[in-house]
Amino acid sequence: MSSLRHLRQCHPAGIAISHYHTSSRALSKQSYKVLVLGGGSGGIAMSARLKRMVGAENVAVVEPSEMHYYQPIWTLVGAGAKTLASSGRSTSSIMPSGVKWVKSKVEEINPETNTVRTDDGSEISYEYLIVALGLQLHFEKIKGLPEGFGHPKIGSNYSVETVDKTWKALQDFKEGNAVFTFPNTPVKCAGAPQKIMYLSDAFLRKFSAPKTGKRAKANVIYNTSLPVLFGIKKYADTLWDIVKTRDLQVNLRHNLIEVRADKQEAVFENLDKPGETKVFEYEMLHVTPPMGPSLVIKGGPLADEVGWLDVNKETLQHNKYPNVFGIGDCTNLPTAKTGAAVAAQSAILGRTISRILKNQIPDKKYDGYTSCPLVTSYNTVVLAEFDYNAQPLETFPINQAKERRLMYYMKADVMPHLYWHGLLRGLWGGPGPYRKLMHLGMK
Ligand SMILES: Cc1cc2nc3c(=O)[nH]c(=O)nc-3n(C[C@H](O)[C@H](O)[C@H](O)COP(=O)(O)OP(=O)(O)OC[C@H]3O[C@@H](n4cnc5c(N)ncnc54)[C@H](O)[C@@H]3O)c2cc1C
């Protein structure tokens, strides 16, 4: 339970923050040419790129967590297809060599003075700032959470503390409702809340005889706040076919507001009829928490009116402070928040900063590329890829709206490799160049 209490203060990836540089609370002064805030996907990718541009000794990364996780694989961890251990590596092992790791938490950013204050009282000044703080999970916005995770039958693939609980709940499933939720906020990887539903359905079918087994005794229910199943029509059409064929119940505009974990009940509000609620008993509940901007950015000088980092959608340069840049989930880039988007953004942002360092105008434009491998079973994936205009931007010259085994292999085995050895080393900037090749220069 104590680790669950941590979830209230946990950082965006849900990792409890326990190890800080607390040896000295004396105010120390540090200064770097390039300061990167956050050592997640975007922060490490950019520090590797900047190291090549300005030299390792001129780059520092502020990141409190001892462990770095490849979050996209948690979808498979929650379904028992991968282990949690396989998703994490120590932060020290992925930090580019020679780059300074400041093991602290950022508390305040002062772009007027080009300084950042950390939780140990230090002030760090910079010439160029790259903000990669991710987003904030808000389990506490649902009544009964995060304490409810102390009970069985409930899990969430969205944090390191709760992802194994999903797998436990699935294995323990006997009969009744398996309920999956999507909150009334932007989320990272908008496909993940339903991927675990498809996997759970497949698990219950796979390990039980047809008609007599567990699946026959299960109602698989997806309660989503959204008015659609998925935002891009081409892929949504396939997903609607799948939910119909597999007898999965989808309730649109249903928002989880309370969990009574002791009674195995989940309360949803009908967003089209505010105030009207409905209670679902559950034998298994997967919660996708509400999410929001990093609290370090929200309300500060770098935020837009909602609280996201306010950057130019083509160059990723801050709209007010030209020596500040942003990448990933913390930004207000109007595209789906994913690691795939981070990869494409890292190439553009690398180019933007290299031009600015030479007093040149940024020339490459981010097109909003993002991707979501929609896992639909233990061996199939629909690989959604699209841009700012919500238009498919597919890498392969085949119809990616079809469920394919090849794409599952990509998701489970190729993408983790690209992440650890490509993106985090600043060598993978998304599939753009390959897409051109595969489409013979036509895309
Ligand atoms: C269950 C799940 C499934 C997903 N599936 C996919 C998928 O299939 N495909 C895909 O492309 N993406 C997927 N994603 C999304 C992907 O993981 C994120 O979009 C990506 O990690 C965003 O990178 P980021 O650098 O912006 O944020 P993060 O990688 O979350 O990094 C943010 C970093 O900032 C640090 N931080 C936070 N606050 C502070 C502070 N105050 N001071 C210092 N450091 C701080 C954190 O410790 C963290 O290391 C999935 C995510 C989840 C949870």
Determine whether the shortest distance from the Cβ of 426 to ligand 1 is under 6 A: no
Determine whether the shortest distance from the Cβ of 189 to ligand 1 is under 6 A: yes
Same domain, 168 and 230: yes
Determine whether the shortest distance from the Cβ of 188 to ligand 1 is under 6 A: yes
CATH of the domain at 340: 3.50.50.60
**pLDDT attached to residue 211:** 53
User: Residues 16, 37, 189, 343: which is the catalytic one?
Assistant: 189
Q: Determine contact, residues 276/295, Cβ cutoff 8 Å.
A: no
Same domain, 409 and 432: yes
Taking residues 278-305, what's their average pLDDT?
98
Strands 29-37 and 59-62: parallel
Same domain, 207 and 132: no
Same domain, 180 and 210: yes
User: Residues 187, 372, 374, 381: which is the catalytic one?
Assistant: 372
Q: Determine contact, residues 201/246, Cβ cutoff 8 Å.
A: yes
Determine whether the shortest distance from the Cβ of 14 to ligand 1 is under 6 A: no
Same domain, 279 and 303: no
What burial class does residue 17 get, using C-beta atoms within 10 Å of its C-beta: 0-12 exposed, 13-18 middle, 19+ buried?
Answer: middle
343 CA distance to ligand 1 middle (Å):
12
d(CA 350, CA 430): 13
Comparing 35-44, 206-215, 342-351, 366-375, the range with the smallest average pLDDT is 206-215
**pLDDT attached to residue 206:** 80
Tokens of 165: 């609980």
Which ligand 1 atom lies nearest to the CA of residue 330? Answer: 26
* Protein residue with least CA distance to atom 27, ligand 1: 134
Q: Is-catalytic flag, 330?
A: no
Q: Which residues of 368-396 are buried (b: 16+ CB within 10 A; e: fewer)?
A: bbbbbbbbbbbebbbbbbbebeeebbbbb
Same domain, 160 and 38: no
Last residue of a domain, one of 332, 357, 382: 357
Determine whether the shortest distance from the Cβ of 106 to ligand 1 is under 6 A: yes
- Is residue 26, in this structure, part of any structural domain at all? yes
- Is residue 159, in this structure, part of any structural domain at all? yes
**pLDDT attached to residue 212:** 52
71 CA distance to ligand 1 middle (Å):
7
* Protein residue with least CA distance to atom 20, ligand 1: 339
Q: Which residues pair with 218 in a beta bridge?
A: 176
Last residue of a domain, one of 289, 321, 342: 289
Instruction: Indicate the residue type of 150.
Output: G
d(CA 124, CA 128): 12
130 CA distance to ligand 1 middle (Å):
15
Same domain, 259 and 180: yes
Same domain, 347 and 302: yes
d(CA 141, CA 252): 20
Which ligand 1 atom lies nearest to the CA of residue 295? Answer: 41
* pLDDT (tens digit per residue) in 96-138: 999 999 999 999 999 999 999 999 999 999 999 999 999 999 9
Greatest alpha-carbon pair distance for the chain in Å reads: 70
What burial class does residue 124 get, using C-beta atoms within 10 Å of its C-beta: 0-12 exposed, 13-18 middle, 19+ buried?
Answer: buried
Checking if the pLDDT of 210 tops 70, the result is no
Q: Determine contact, residues 386/393, Cβ cutoff 8 Å.
A: yes
Q: Domain of 40? A: 10-80+88-136+293-357
For ligand 1, mutation pick of 71, 131, 383 (most atoms within 8 Å of CB):
71
* pLDDT (tens digit per residue) in 37-70: 999 999 999 999 999 999 999 999 999 999 999 9
**pLDDT attached to residue 436:** 82
* pLDDT (tens digit per residue) in 80-95: 999 999 999 999 999 9
Contacts of 164 (CB under 8 A, 6+ apart): 77, 78, 84, 155
Which ligand 1 atom lies nearest to the CA of residue 371? Answer: 11
Determine whether the shortest distance from the Cβ of 42 to ligand 1 is under 6 A: yes
Same domain, 350 and 414: no
> Could you give the C-alpha distances from 196 to 155, 373, 376, in angstroms and in order?
11, 12, 8
- Is residue 48, in this structure, part of any structural domain at all? yes
- What single-letter DSSP state applies at residue 413? I
Which ligand 1 atom lies nearest to the CA of residue 328? Answer: 26
Checking if the pLDDT of 7 tops 80, the result is no
- Is residue 53, in this structure, part of any structural domain at all? yes
Q: Is-catalytic flag, 189?
A: yes
Last residue of a domain, one of 335, 357, 379: 357
269 CA distance to ligand 1 middle (Å):
28
What DSSP string describes 61-88? EE---SEEE-GGGHHHHTTTSS-SGGGE
* Protein residue with least CA distance to atom 49, ligand 1: 40
User: Sheet containing 254-260: which strands, arranged edge to edge?
Assistant: 254-260, 265-270, 277-281
- Is residue 182, in this structure, part of any structural domain at all? yes
Same domain, 256 and 335: no
Tokens of 140: 């506490």
- Is residue 364, in this structure, part of any structural domain at all? no
Same domain, 328 and 427: no
- Is residue 224, in this structure, part of any structural domain at all? yes
Same domain, 92 and 118: yes
- Is residue 43, in this structure, part of any structural domain at all? yes
Comparing 132-136, 224-228, 260-264, 433-437, the range with the smallest average pLDDT is 433-437
Residue 423's φ and ψ, nearest 5 degrees, are: -60, -50
Tokens of 260: 């009574």
Number of domains in the chain: 3
Determine whether the shortest distance from the Cβ of 385 to ligand 1 is under 6 A: no
